[in-house]
Amino acid sequence: MHTNLVEIFYIIDEFCNEIEKTMEGRDTSKKTRKRAFTMSDSEVITIMIMFHQSRYRDMKAFYINYIQQYYYRDFPHTVSYNRFIELQQKALLPMTVFLQLCCLGKCTGTSFIDSTPIRVCHIKREKSHKVFKELAAKGQSTIGWFFGFKLHLVVNDKGEIIKFLITKANVDDREPLKDSRFHEKLFGKLFADKGYISQNLFEKLFIDNINLITKIKKNMKNALMHLNDKIILRKRVIIETINDLLKNGCQIEHTRHRCLTNFVGNLVAGLIAYNIAPKKPALNLEIIDLNAIKKVT
């Protein structure tokens, strides 16, 4: 196994052991039978992260043709693929808690927010789709109509994900920011596109020590903006790059899900794989691009 993956497995295994100790420490009135599983949660989570860091597009082919063929020494007690899918659902809770507590970055005072569509089927199969019936919805993005969900992301200038939220596709981009629980860890300047323009939202966030900065529409009056803010606003492409890496690199989006838990597990594992990556898109805010200043002035 690769050295980085050994380190990842060690961290995940220690985290899972702490969760098990916490669960065992709770007082339960009923005695439950503890079943010994062939593969531990830490092994399942590690394999899922490996998949999202690989070039494979099919989890079944990755597990059978790659893990069981080349990593049989690191995972000597692998189970059948159908059983592995069942173990994924069992490992969903500790994996989600691991993402929330150990992987997300911290706000640096310069943040970027955007949403990206997560399709669950082709738009033409919207009415015949059954897996996410009454859960997903039809929405519109810059590239047209789609059926599925929206992933709302907030990242810092280091390329680290600070906050994320999954909503239906027809939810307005500004809706998550209206909830104080979503932006409670944010402060400073928050850069967004024109879809987040709202006077009420700007005032609400300003009270919470967050300055929402967006471009203006053609029918809006121009307002004074600091030169540095104009330059950083042009660098908002960083979050679009992250969305592209999550979809095409970490494969958080595909249309082969058979149930909701597998959809969530695939998304969480992809977010973990991105967050633990050694290199991420980042901005060096200490260096001011003189050419950019000349263009603005």
**Worst-scoring range by mean pLDDT, 77-91, 159-173, 207-221, 251-265?**
207-221
Q: No. of H helices and E strands in the chain?
A: 11, 6
How far is the C-alpha of 38 from the C-alpha of 94, rounded, in Å?
17
Q: How confident is the model at residue 38 (pLDDT cuts 50, 70, 90)?
A: confident
Which tens digits make up the pLDDT trace of 107-128?
999 999 999 999 999 999 999 9
Residue 1: the pLDDT is: 41
- What distance lies between CA 220 and its chain's CA centroid? 33
Residues of the chain with pLDDT > 70, as a percent, come to: 88
Torsion of CA 152, 157, 160, 161, to 10 degrees: -20
Instruction: Say whether pLDDT at 293 is over 60.
Output: no
Instruction: Concatenate the DSSP letters of all residues of 30-41 into one string.
Output: S----PPPSS-H
Q: How confident is the model at residue 227 (pLDDT cuts 50, 70, 90)?
A: confident
- What distance lies between CA 169 and its chain's CA centroid? 16
Residue 6: the pLDDT is: 86
Residue 2: the pLDDT is: 46
Which tens digits make up the pLDDT trace of 192-204?
999 999 989 999 9
- CATH 3.50.30 for the 106-255 domain, yes or no: no
Tokens, residue 113: 């927010």
How far is the C-alpha of 158 from the C-alpha of 189, rounded, in Å?
14
User: Closest Cα to residue 253, out of 66, 143, 119, 128?
Assistant: 119
The pTM (predicted TM-score) of the whole model is 0.87
Residue 218: the pLDDT is: 67
Tokens, residue 133: 């019936």
Mean of per-residue pLDDT scores for the chain: 87
User: Closest Cα to residue 15, out of 112, 111, 79, 98?
Assistant: 98
* Domain residue ranges in the chain: 3-21+36-102, 106-255
Q: What is the arithmetic mean of pLDDT over 266-288?
A: 86
- The DSSP symbol for 215 reads P
Q: How confident is the model at residue 223 (pLDDT cuts 50, 70, 90)?
A: low
Residue 95: the pLDDT is: 94
Cβ pair 231, 289 in contact under 8 A: yes
Instruction: Say whether pLDDT at 103 is over 60.
Output: yes
56 versus 293: the higher-pLDDT residue is 56
